[in-house]
Amino acid sequence: MLTSKIMKTGWAAILEQLIPPETHPDLVKTFKRFFYAGGKHVIDTLVYDAALDEGDEPSEADLSKIDALMHEINEYFADVAAQRQ
């Protein structure tokens, strides 16, 4: 199984480039949850709502990458539920 770091890398870039260092940690935590929720929505829309163009079938490699990304997102929300994030 592929291991995705797409969301982690994206979040690190946003944290560095867009969120001032003096931002309260609780607000940073909320921003991170919104970021991951947005990623989950995009993937859900592409995969489960068949938002791909008609006739464009994802390859096995595409599906593997999507699975890895979904695993990364689900892992994050499991950490949130367990209050580790």
User: For the chain, how big is the Rg over CA atoms in Å?
Assistant: 15
Domains of the chain, by residue range, sit at: 6-81
Model's pTM, two decimal places? 0.79
pLDDT in tens, the chain (85 residues): 677 899 999 999 999 999 999 999 999 999 999 999 999 998 888 777 665 556 667 778 878 888 888 899 999 999 999 988 8
Residue 48 to residue 46: CA distance in whole angstroms: 6
- Looking at residue 63, its pLDDT comes to 80
Q: How many helices (H) and strands (E) does the chain have?
A: 3, 0
